[in-house]
Amino acid sequence: MVRIYVIDNGGQWTHREWRTLRDLDVDTKIVPNTASFEEIIKDNVDGLVLSGGAPRIGLDSNLGNCGEYLEKSVFPILGICAGHQFMARFFGGKVQPSKIPEFGKIELMLLTEDNVLFEGVPKKSIVWESHNDEVTVLPDSFERLGESENCKIQAMKHKKKPFYGLQFHPEVEHTEYGEQIFKNFVNICEKYLV
Amino acid sequence: MFDAKKFIRETIPKLQDEIKGKALVAFSGGVDSTVCAVLVNKAIGDRLVAVHVDTGYMRKNEPENVKKTMDELGLNYCFIDAKDEYYKALKGVEDPEKKRKIIGEKFIRIFEKVAEKENVEYLVQGTIAPDWIESGDTLRDTIKSHHNVGGLPSEMKLKLVEPLRDLYKDEVRKVARELGLKVSERQPFPGPGLAIRITGEATPERTEVVREACDIVEKEIENAVKKGLMERPWQYFAVLIPVKTVGVHGDKRAYGYTIAIRAVQSVDAMTCAYSDIPHKILDNISTRIANTLRDKVNRIVYDVTSKPPGTVEWE
């Protein structure tokens, strides 16, 4: 059984991430972002989800020990919302308050056709958002996977490491292909199983 | 996937371990508290007392319906009429968080009184995941203090038992169906009741108005669903906005409150889309509210906000 933990950055939908993984028969647990990397790898995890949260990454807020996880991990990590923004900043990108924040329903447009995280997801689909900040400058080590009308970096991937970031929320019921995206991430983690 | 049978099988022995003496269950008559009451009843039998508090902010005919449900389930129960106490406590209170906290604390003080009389140590609550998520904690922002979590007083004597804490409403409904409970498909109703469906002060006068308006919205929508004119919303009700506007009734000036119609689609209350109510149904609701509550209400509006950015209830 693949083991993916959800790092709790205080998001409203952290528990939904846990539920989605549990429904996919993943061995999962919610862990506060104050846990050290050593505590987490003791359990032989195969992947991490960095949840969203109220901290304003665009205003230089920190996100517990997420930096340590990104520095030390070799297994896949999926950053969502604040988790995604923090990932971008950690690798040298820029996060700023959104000119037009997005809440609720928007259309996601994928920019590549063959990314494993979006396997089975059409070029255009409905996703749900809830953010005040966004990634405005992509780190050099990342590539852009998706955008929306008002936010150019909706999805990104590290060029060499199995690290992904999503500005929208694949864990909520109203995101059309959310479960599919989680399934794909679980597959990515399974492939990393040694 | 969530397995209701397994959940029931595993929860009952856990409850037997956890509850050593007598327990009371806070029984509102909704899906969550009814499932809790039945599970605990299966675990500890008549060591359980169900307590229903009529806060005065209940839906139309609700106290009678709740009594009937408790009878049908064969629960030991106690019914407390605390209308005047609640109205007094909320007099002059406008802030939604203050309202929620006053209501939450009052519930506990009433339960403590019953507990003392009945010699009870444990309080069973139908808390589910969104309640504690939205109430906030050291990591999470407080969106609203749910009466059963963020609304609890810091000092309380009863030990809390919350068997549904990690479940969402759709999962609780699965358990309710598995237990064969009639309430399994009831729409959610918040613990603080109509007090948070009146923005600002929840006076007895405004409460009567919104109680009637909620009843009209419920009946009209249920009627439309039955006729196949629309999908059944997850939740549907009225909100009283204490903003007065001018109208004309029979050639005379009128000046009354505003009522908002709210209906949303959801699975777990964590995200919601506003329901698409056909214009004909909106029209029926509007006319009935205006004609029934004629000297109190003369403007009816339709809330087209999703969650996020809004929440389901207005406060």
Query: Chain A: nearest CA to B184, how far in angstroms?
Result: 21
Q: Which of B129, B139, B308 sits opposite A53 (nearest CB)?
A: B139
**Is the CB of B139 inside 8 Å of chain A's CB atoms?**
yes
The dihedrals phi and psi of A61, each to the nearest 5 degrees, come to -70, 155
Nearest chain A residue to B138, by CA: A10
Inform me whether the pLDDT recorded for B291 exceeds 80: yes
Per-residue model confidence (pLDDT) at position A101: 94
Which B-chain residues 145-184 have CB contacts (< 8 A) with chain A? 166, 168
At residue B211 the predicted structure's pLDDT band, cuts being 50, 70 and 90, is very high
CATH 3.40.47.10 fits B197-302, yes or no: no
> Can you give the pTM of this predicted structure?
0.89
Of B2, B133, B271, the CB nearest to A173: B271
pLDDT of residue A194: 57
Beta strands B48-54; B76-81: pairing state: parallel
Domains in chain A (CATH in brackets) are 3-192 (3.40.50.880)
Whole-number average pLDDT of chain B? 95
Shortest CA gap B299–chain A (Å): 28
The percentage of residues in chain B with a pLDDT greater than 70, rounded to a whole number, is 100
The answer to whether A103 contacts B129, with C-beta atoms less than 8 Å apart, is no
Nearest CA in chain A to B272: A174
User: Domain spans of chain B?
Assistant: 4-185, 197-302
Q: Which chain A residues touch B142 with a CB distance below 8 Å?
A: none
Which member of A15, A23, A104 has the closest CB to residue B133? A15
Does B147 score more than 90 pLDDT? no
CATH class of B4-185: alpha beta
Note the ipTM here.
0.85
Residue numbers of chain A with a pLDDT score lower than 50: none
Q: HSE (CB half, 13 Å, CA atoms) of B300?
A: 25
Report the side by side order of strands in the sheet with A77-80: A27-32, A3-8, A47-50, A77-80, A163-166, A155-158, A142-147, A94-110, A124-137
B104 vs B240: CA distance, rounded Å: 22
